[in-house]
Amino acid sequence: MSASAPVDGQLNAVRASLKRRHAQERRFQVLGLAAIFAALAMVAVLFGSVLFKGVPAFWQSTLHLEISLNADVIDVGQPPVQKANQNPAEFQAELTDWRRALARVSWNKILENAVRGVLPADLADAKTRDIVGIVASGERYALRDMVLEDPNLIGQTIEVDLLADADVDNWLKGNIDRSLGQSRQQLSTGEQEIADALAEKGVITQSFNSGIFFNVDSRSSPASAGLAGAFMGSLYMMLVVIMLAVPIGVASAIYLEEFAPTNRFTDFIEVNINNLAAVPSIVFGLLGASIFINWMHLPLSAPLVGGLVLTLMTLPTIIIATRGTLRAIPPSIREAALGLGASRTQMVFHHVLPLAIPGILTATIIGVAQALGETAPLLLIGMNAFVASVPASPMDQATALPVQIYLWQGNENFNFFEARTNAAIIVLLGLMISLNAIAILLRQRIERRW
């Protein structure tokens, strides 16, 4: 019995130790799962908040009106037709005069008459300023452009959908506290009454706002502000990043991992690549402003410059991730290729690189997603300028989706632009997810092939 006592003691100690280890493993698993669920909960709260605030911006208060394009009010006649022997310069002058006359038409009066026609009797004496104020200021120009495009509309009565003013949209959506005193309201009493009356009659409804995708930013008419210019600016920048950062980054990674000799020079390069990956993005913006704008004299606020800056910022990420992918390829692949007589170049490009392409695409996804959401470097090269046009090429002035979000977030009409800011975030996330989905599909197709 005395001989077995030490053995029993050792067994009990082992059992106790195993019990403690198993308990620690269970605690670690619980903590790990708790951390994962907490992270997912935070992500769900974030996306839920963005969706909750942003989705209403895709529906906007719209007036459905019958507008009489009275020829007595639009007293400009038909556009001139070039005569057989008329000088082109003279015809162009006549056409310009006709367009100027069309621009001088009292479009506010036309809108006022259309709105008065649907007002209830108790608002028949509403002020002109209040009636015109419920329509977005840019809609009169949209009406003018309709007539400019089709002069045959003059004298007809047409059905038109016009955006309500941004403050009217806030009022009807409940973004403005109606219990506040009139001195603190954004709408006059008359505008409030007209907006409520037209909404009750169904003249003003919440319609899908396609303009947020197809319109450019606007300061004079916030209700019609859209993301078309910023979207195209981001798209051009991503094309520049993909065309430059991906081939240069992948080629650099292949050379450093497969061909470069191990010496102080390559060690120096590797250290600096790792350091560049940790440099704040705003530093790349300063570098881009100094080199691409001040020294190379490239156009300010151009997607080309933004793409070049983001390329510099993305290169270290792509190089490091691609090298990690190349290291993960088993050495036996290289040894087998060299053993069969392949050259080092054939070994890399015929055997190693095809197997590494899925990982390289993953590195590209990481780099492009990082570049797509950057704002700080773009601010330093002037892409926060107000640009009310869609860029036709990477050399034209433009802004980008992250910068547009930044600008709208600081707009003085926060009640209206808060929803638009979150809607722009949804569009940015949609673009990012689309680019990632394309890369993932390509990766899966390549993996199946190999």
Cα gap 382→155, rounded to integer Å: 47
Contact indicator for 94, 80 with CB cutoff of 8 Å? yes
Quote the pLDDT of residue 222: 87
State pLDDT tens for residues 162-194.
999 988 998 898 888 887 777 777 888 888 899
Quote the pLDDT of residue 310: 92
State pLDDT tens for residues 5-42.
676 777 777 788 888 888 888 899 999 999 999 999 99
- Token code pair at residue 8: 């029993």
At residue 237, what is the residue type?
A: M
More confident residue, 2 or 305: 305
Contact indicator for 347, 261 with CB cutoff of 8 Å? no
pLDDT (mean) for 222-234: 89
Quote the pLDDT of residue 77: 80
More confident residue, 262 or 66: 66
State pLDDT tens for residues 396-409.
888 899 989 988 98
**What's the pLDDT band for 448 if we cut at 50, 70, 90?**
low
In the DSSP assignment, the letter for residue 186 is: S
Ordered DSSP codes for 310-330: HHHHHHHHHHHHHHHHHHHS-
pLDDT (mean) for 319-344: 87
pLDDT (mean) for 286-306: 88
Contact indicator for 57, 155 with CB cutoff of 8 Å? no
pLDDT (mean) for 322-349: 86
- Quickly tell me which residue has 């005395």 as its tokens: 2
**What's the pLDDT band for 4 if we cut at 50, 70, 90?**
low
- Token code pair at residue 191: 């505008």
Quote the pLDDT of residue 5: 67
Short-list 170, 259, 231, 187, CA closest to 372: 231
State pLDDT tens for residues 107-150.
888 998 899 888 988 888 888 898 888 999 888 888 888 988 88
Of the listed ranges 31-35, 175-179, 318-322, 347-351, the one predicted with least confidence? 175-179
Quote the pLDDT of residue 349: 87
At residue 400, what is the residue type?
A: A
Contact indicator for 388, 220 with CB cutoff of 8 Å? no
More confident residue, 450 or 113: 113
Of the listed ranges 12-16, 191-195, 303-307, 313-317, the one predicted with least confidence? 12-16
Quote the pLDDT of residue 450: 58
- Quickly tell me which residue has 């002109």 as its tokens: 128
Residue 47 pairs in a beta bridge with: none
pLDDT (mean) for 320-344: 87
**Burial (Cβ within 10 Å: 0-12, 13-18, ≥19) of residue 159:** exposed
Short-list 136, 128, 213, CA closest to 169: 136
Tell me how far CA of residue 61 lies from CA of 248, 311, 412, in angstroms: 49, 41, 20
Question: Quick one: what percent of the chain has pLDDT higher than 70?
Answer: 98
Quote the pLDDT of residue 425: 92
